[in-house]
Every structure is written in structure tokens, then in C-alpha cells.
A and B are shown apart, each in its own frame.
Chain A
Amino acid sequence: MVQHYIKGLDEPNPWYTTDSPFGGPVAPVIVYQQADSEFKGWYLDNLFGNLWRRQEWEIYAPTRVGQVLRCSARVADRYRRRDRDVVAQEMWVRDEAGHLIARSFHHQSFLAAQTSGEVTLRDPASKEGARQGEEPSGEPLSIELRKTFTEAMCNEFFYRSRNYHNDKAASKELGFGDTVIGGRMTLSCVTELLTRYFGRGFYLGAAWT
């Protein structure tokens, strides 16, 4: 898992393979993030045009490479947003002793009526807060990440299966004109930036919404 993550994102952080401030290699902070999709039955039937909408995470402890974790989840909410139905799943990640490692909410949106054709995405310029000019004041972080995800990187990151994140035909079946870069990959850029900036503090009590 860690090797696919490193290659898929092109993020060779030595903490993941050699040593870290926790003694020995530590996994990327939410390396277990795909566990939420392994629970069956919470997706709605119409997968056409489904997209990630929102995530929230709380991190309480690092995960060691090779450590066994246990995940549990529930459907926490279901609501309507414009032309989409949204399902929110809450997930808990625990170590073998039952200590909480992380907690998350994942909001997945499903088109309420459209089941074929081409998905119409809203114009980015029309979205609230989606363009520059609405940024908070403050001190810019001293680092930033610049990436371009290729199909090869998507194949590496989503090595478990072929889906609309690494297969154009699968993407077209869901109404998209090209493969859609997976939210897990862009989310990981956020956590990589914050891991680099905060260091160990990011593993010991971080949260993002």
C-alpha cells in the first residue's frame, strides 16, 4: 500500500520507508482512506455521474507500516444538494487494542435523476468560493506542492481495480469525457503538504473539514 501511494503521488517521503520521528517507518497519515469504499451497501443504486463532495478527518495517532487496523462505519446522513442526493458515511479507524487512530466523514454525491448521456459539470466560475479572490488573509505556508497526475500515476495509485479513475471506458459509462482524477489523490496532496509543514504534529491531533 505504501509503495503504491509513494509511486502514485510521486511523494518519496523517507518517513514512509526508512525512519520517522516516531521510530521506524510510519505510513502516510491516511493510508487507510480507501477502507470507506470497502463497506458495501451505502452507495445509492444510480452510480452515473457520482462524485466526491466533501470529507472531514480527525487524526489521533500515527499508523506504523505493517500495523493491523480495524475499521467500522455507519451511514451518518443523507440529504439533497441541487440535482444530487448525497450520502455521508462516518468511519472509525482503531488499532488492535481499540484505541482510536482516526475518524472520518465522507460525503458522496449521486445524480438524482440522470442515468445516461453526459454529465454536465457546473461552470467553475459560477461556484461560490471556487475561484481566487475569496481567500482568507494570513501567512502563506513556506512550502507548496506542484503536481501533474498522469494516467500511469492513476494506475499506480488505484492499483486494486479498474474504475473511472484509471479507465476511460469505465469513465464514459458514468458520463464523464475522460478519466476523473480520484479525490483520494488530490486529498493526499493536501495531507502531504501538511505532513511536510507540521511534521509529527500532523499525526498527533490534526483535523480538517
Chain B
Amino acid sequence: MKFTNVLWPNEPFTTRGIITGRRVESGQTRAEVTVFCEKADGTKIIVASASALEG
């Protein structure tokens, strides 16, 4: 998880994600997700690669 830009008070931002892949792990599905926190002008403040079990 990279902190790529500073966020100041009262700046609106959105946290969203994109599923980039899935794989089976011990009978369960693990999803890979790229997550962004970004300001209204598109400036990213966090970029993260995450994974977790679905279901």
C-alpha cells in the first residue's frame, strides 16, 4: 500500500477497487484487488494491492 500524495482536510475523495484476478485456495476462492483512494481531480492518495477470501 503506497501513500502517493497528501490529503488535506475537507478534500473529498473516493475509495474504490478493481478485481484483477481470482484463484482457488484450499477449496475457497481468493480474489486479488487493486484499491485506490483518489481525489475528485483523479489524484491518487493511496494505491494498494490486496487479496482475501470470498464468500
Contacts and interface: CB of A to CB of B under 8 A. Distances in A.
A145 B31 CA distance: 19
A132 interface: yes
Contact of B52 (A121, A139, A186, A205): A205
Interface string A168-193: 00000000101111010011011011
A54 B37 contact: no
Contact of B15 (A137, A176, A189): A189
Contact of B4 (A129, A198, A202): A129
Chief secondary structure at chain B's binding surface? strand
Interface in B2-29: 2-21, 28
Contacts of B14: 144-147
A181 B3 contact: no
A127 B45 CA distance: 11
Contacts of B47: 129-130
A206 B4 contact: no
Interface in A131-164: 131-132, 135-141, 144-151, 154
A192 B14 CA distance: 12
A190 B50 contact: yes
B54 A193 contact: no
Given A124-B43, A190-B48, A52 B18 contact: no
B15 A144 contact: yes
A104 to B, nearest CB: 10
A79 interface: no
A138 B2 contact: no
Interface in B37-55: 37-38, 42-55
B18 A135 contact: yes
A182 to B, nearest CB: 9
Contacts of B37: 186, 189-190
Contact of A52 (B3, B19, B34): B3
17 contacts: A52-B3, A53-B3, A54-B1, A54-B2, A57-B1, A124-B43, A147-B14, A149-B11, A151-B9, A180-B8, A183-B3, A186-B7, A186-B46, A190-B1, A197-B33, A198-B53, A208-B1
